Every structure is written in C-alpha cells, then in structure tokens.
Amino acid sequence: MLDILSGVEYIHSKRFIHRDLKPTNIMFGLDGKVKIGDFGLVAFKDADQLERSPNKGTESYMAPEQKSELTYNGKVDIFSLGLIIFELVWKISTNHERGLMWGNVRAQKLPQEFIHSYWEEFQIIKPMLSEKPEDRPGASQVKAHLEEHTHRLDILEIRTRGSRSV
C-alpha cells in the first residue's frame, strides 16, 4: 500500500492525475517493486480544478465527481485508492459478493466485520471515500497516516514476539 501511495504521490507531484487507478493497473516489476500502469487517461493539472471529460475511467473505481462533473482534481485518484486499499485488506470471495457490497463501500459504509477487525485501516480508508473531494486527504497525508500505522504494527509485533535475537 505504501508503494502504491508513493507512486500516486509522485504522479501528483508532477501535476498529473491518473484518472483510472484500479487493481489491474497496479503491477509488480521484475525487481519486485510496485508499478502503476495505463496512463491512457492521464490528465495534466495546471490549476486546482480544470474542465475534464466526464465519465472517463473504470466506472466501479471512479470518484463520484468523475462520473458526473466537468471539473475535478487529483482527489479522484484518492477515492480510487481508498477502494483499492479496502480490497487489499478485505477478502471478497466472489464477484457476486463484490457487487452486493461495492455500493456501500463507495458510500463509506464498510462491513461491520471490517470496521471491527481493521479499525486503523478503516480510519485511513473512510476519509478517502468521502463524497466531497475537499474532504479527502492528499496522497502525502494518506501515506503519512499509513506509515504511522505500519510503525505501530511493527512495535506491536516486536512486543508480541519479544526481543529474541536469531
């Protein structure tokens, strides 16, 4: 997740919006590093919001404003990333199951079992799925929150295993 966020952070730092982030556009290179691909819908942002073509991208991963608005910004990528992170953490067994829950997930209504089992991840994902783009964090903010969470998990694992050396 951190590698994906680093990639999106880099894309945004170069003033681009990917506009079609989805699992099939995230790959591993031969070096084992995460690669973000398919820049066919990339847009250059030279202002906070520019007029864009509506309904460009993969519908199930599009931010609400990307489906209907003529102006949007890089926060559309954050919405997509929220969905991707959810999928990385929560097992969805079938397309049918995904179809039943996806609308709720897009509306920040994640399964109660997810919230109970993955409270920290829920705290990261929920604002990413805000309907209003201005309520979504930037890629750098999400990355910082995730790094903090990862650090806490590392400390917890060390405490759980003890300080045994090999």
Q: Regarding predicted confidence, which is higher, 48 or 44?
A: 44
Note the pLDDT of residue 54.
57
Query: Tell me, what's the pLDDT at 134?
Result: 95
Q: Which one from 3, 20, 48, 154 is the annotated catalytic residue?
A: 20
Query: Per the structure block, which two tokens stand in for 43?
Result: 């847009």
Residue 161 above 90 pLDDT? no
For CA atoms 155, 156, 157, 160, the dihedral sign is: positive
Binning pLDDT at 50, 70 and 90, where does residue 76 land? very high
What are the tens digits of pLDDT across the range 84-114?
999 999 988 888 998 899 999 999 999 999 9
Give the DSSP H or E segment for 27. strand 26-28
Q: Tell me the domains of the chain and their CATH numbers.
A: 2-161 (1.10.510.10)
Note the pLDDT of residue 52.
Answer: 57
pLDDT in the model for residue 129: 97
CB 76 within 8 A of CB 42: no
Q: Rounded CA gap, 24 and 40, in Å?
A: 14
46 is catalytic: no
pLDDT, tens digit (0-9, with 9 covering 90-100), for 1-24: 889 999 999 999 998 888 899 999
Q: Give the count of alpha carbons within 13 A of 165, CB side only.
A: 0
Mean pLDDT, rounded, for 36-59: 68
Average pLDDT over residues 69-83: 88
